[in-house]
């Protein structure tokens, strides 16, 4: 019977069992058992996804570009994609700013607890600050420089350099179109063949997804319990209201803005859209990484929504690196929340600065767990807020990361569907 279930039901079951096993392990004091024998399977699943990400980007992007056989078409799609990504990000940040200014979660913070809480997290903070140290001294357009790798092999060795590989794959694909010599046909064929093989690998990995998600969930529950959450119970109200503000924003994006966008610009029922990408959303939720989720997003968008590989192979990998609606909304809410906690009133000009830096920071965030939080330091710096503020939100960051990653992935899929529709590359799938 289990065999017949659709993939997302299996993943959902895996998640549920993982949660139950995690809770039972905590109750029985068997945390170590989960860490030693279950968590590794989650790591294996994550590794499998990461392993296939680079070959997938390269093969499918080159195959996609080569298939376009017309460079003007490529630049038109590229321009549309990037403009739409920036537009949705700006809307997400604005929404975040409105919500946090209406709810004002920072005003719930108990004054006497501030110092104690900041010092509690100072060690973790030092590490995060170190990570962002280099970033904040860079030129505002450093992200352009970062796109161009000095060594393509080196770029391909790190999953955080996806934009660099995309850049190389694009030039490679374009050059492949430009060389009108029969000798390059074999290269085209090889890459198209490679693409098919990589897609098959994704298929195989997905059979393992329910088990991978099970293991990740169980490990997560156990890790959380180890944090001794009870000691910071007095901060729950403040953090709770802050978390509610972020979650509310994410919910509005996912159940208000995206469905509206889909209806008006794509003419697709949002229920069909969500059912189609649900497995990707579940993987995003349990891995907190839109980069790791990419293979699944691609598979679902192509097979279930009918987006042609020409479009998805370009729009989705670019989206993973530059389009993070959930992350940018979260960065806006977190920044203003921290200002409120420290009793700092932000001017309209500062809010505008947050709008721009949160947009840029989300573009600069890699699609890996916690990346949005590191980049948040840049947003905090831009309006002169104390970095220590980060300590306030550390405790609750992981669950929020899981949720914002779902939104990030959904936003990418939405734009891919929209562009496919506009380009006449959206097949009808039942």
From residue 406 to residue 425, the character string flagging contacts with ligand ASP as x (rule: CB under 6 A) and all else as - is: --x-----------------
Measured from the CB atom, is 55 or 411 closer to ligand ASP?
411
Smallest gap from residue 343 Cβ to ligand ASP (A): 27
Measured from the CB atom, is 59 or 292 closer to ligand ASP?
292
Among 81, 195, 286, 288, binds ligand ASP (CB under 6 A): 288
Measured from the CB atom, is 66 or 391 closer to ligand ASP?
391
Stretch that binds ligand ASP, among 53-61, 286-294, 302-310, 379-387 (CB under 6 A): 286-294
Smallest gap from residue 327 Cβ to ligand ASP (A): 3
Stretch that binds ligand ASP, among 216-224, 234-242, 343-351, 403-411 (CB under 6 A): 403-411
Smallest gap from residue 286 Cβ to ligand ASP (A): 12
The Cα–Cα gap between 183 and 312 comes to: 28
Measured from the CB atom, is 309 or 321 closer to ligand ASP?
321
Quick count: other Cβ atoms within 10 Å of Cβ 24? 13
Measured from the CB atom, is 160 or 232 closer to ligand ASP?
160
Burial class (CB in 10 A: 0-12, 13-18, 19+), 336: buried
Smallest gap from residue 6 Cβ to ligand ASP (A): 25
What crossing angle do the helices spanning 122-136 and 371-382 adopt, rounded to 10°? 70
Residue 404 interacting with ligand ASP (CB under 6 A): yes
Smallest gap from residue 288 Cβ to ligand ASP (A): 5
Measured from the CB atom, is 63 or 283 closer to ligand ASP?
283
Q: Which of residues 356-395 bind ligand ASP (CB under 6 A)?
A: 365, 367-373
Among 81, 195, 290, 297, binds ligand ASP (CB under 6 A): 290
Quick count: other Cβ atoms within 10 Å of Cβ 142? 13
| Total of chain residues touching ligand ASP, rule CB under 6 A | 17
HSE value, Cβ hemisphere, 13 Å, CA-based, for 163:
17
Nearest Cα to Cα of residue 423 among 62, 99, 70, 3: 70
Q: Which of residues 296-355 bind ligand ASP (CB under 6 A)?
A: 324, 327
Stretch that binds ligand ASP, among 123-131, 137-145, 212-220, 283-291 (CB under 6 A): 283-291
Measured from the CB atom, is 321 or 417 closer to ligand ASP?
321
Which residue has the closest beta carbon to ligand ASP?
372
Smallest gap from residue 206 Cβ to ligand ASP (A): 19
Residue whose pair of structure tokens reads 């903070």 in the numeric block: 125
The Cα–Cα gap between 411 and 281 comes to: 11
Q: Which of residues 144-183 bind ligand ASP (CB under 6 A)?
A: none
Measured from the CB atom, is 313 or 323 closer to ligand ASP?
323
Smallest gap from residue 389 Cβ to ligand ASP (A): 17
Stretch that binds ligand ASP, among 140-148, 190-198, 250-258, 401-409 (CB under 6 A): 401-409
Smallest gap from residue 403 Cβ to ligand ASP (A): 10
Site residues (CB under 6 A) for ligand ASP?
288-290, 324, 327, 365, 367-373, 401, 404-405, 408
């Amino acid at each position: 019977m289990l065999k017949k279930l659709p993939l997302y039901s299996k993943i959902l079951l895996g998640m549920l069992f993982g949660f139950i096993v995690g809770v039972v392990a905590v109750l029985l004091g068997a945390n170590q058992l989960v860490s030693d024998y279950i968590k590794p399977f989650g790591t294996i699943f994550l590794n499998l996804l990461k392993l296939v990400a680079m070959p997938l980007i390269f093969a499918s992007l080159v195959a996609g570009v080569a298939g376009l056989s017309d460079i003007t078409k490529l630049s038109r799609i590229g321009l549309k994609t990037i403009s739409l990504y920036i537009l949705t990000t700006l809307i997400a940040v604005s929404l975040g700013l409105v919500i946090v200014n209406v709810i004002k979660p920072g005003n719930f913070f108990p004054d006497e607890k501030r110092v104690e809480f900041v010092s509690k997290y100072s060690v973790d903070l030092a590490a995060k600050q170190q990570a962002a140290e280099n970033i904040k001294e860079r030129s505002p357009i450093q992200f352009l420089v970062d796109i161009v790798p000095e060594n393509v092999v080196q770029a391909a060795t790190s999953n955080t350099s996806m934009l660099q590989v995309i850049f190389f794959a694009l030039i490679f694909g374009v050059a492949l179109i430009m060389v009108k010599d029969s000798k390059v046909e074999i290269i085209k064929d090889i890459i198209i063949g490679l693409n098919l093989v990589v897609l098959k690998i994704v298929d195989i990995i997905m059979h393992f997804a329910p088990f991978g998600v099970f293991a990740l969930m169980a490990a997560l529950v156990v890790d959380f319990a180890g944090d001794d959450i009870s000691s910071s119970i007095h901060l729950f109200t403040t953090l709770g209201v802050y978390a509610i503000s972020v979650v509310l924003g994410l919910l509005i994006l996912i159940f208000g803005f995206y469905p509206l966008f889909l209806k008006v610009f794509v003419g697709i029922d949002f229920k069909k859209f969500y059912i189609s990408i649900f497995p990707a959303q579940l993987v995003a939720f349990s891995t907190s990484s839109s980069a790791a989720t990419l293979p699944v997003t691609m598979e679902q968008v192509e097979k279930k929504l009918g987006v042609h590989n020409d479009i998805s192979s370009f729009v989705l990998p670019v989206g993973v690196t530059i389009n993070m609606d959930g992350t940018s909304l979260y960065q806006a809410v977190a920044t203003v929340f921290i200002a409120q906690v420290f009793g700092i009133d932000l001017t309209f000009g500062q809010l505008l600065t947050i709008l721009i830096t949160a947009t840029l920071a989300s573009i600069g965030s890699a699609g890996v767990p916690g990346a949005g939080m590191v980049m948040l330091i840049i947003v905090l710096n831009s309006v002169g807020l104390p970095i220590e503020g980060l300590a306030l939100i550390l405790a609750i960051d992981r669950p929020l990361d899981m949720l914002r990653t779902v939104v990030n992935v959904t936003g990418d899929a939405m734009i891919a569907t929209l562009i496919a529709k506009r380009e006449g590359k959206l097949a009808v799938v039942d």
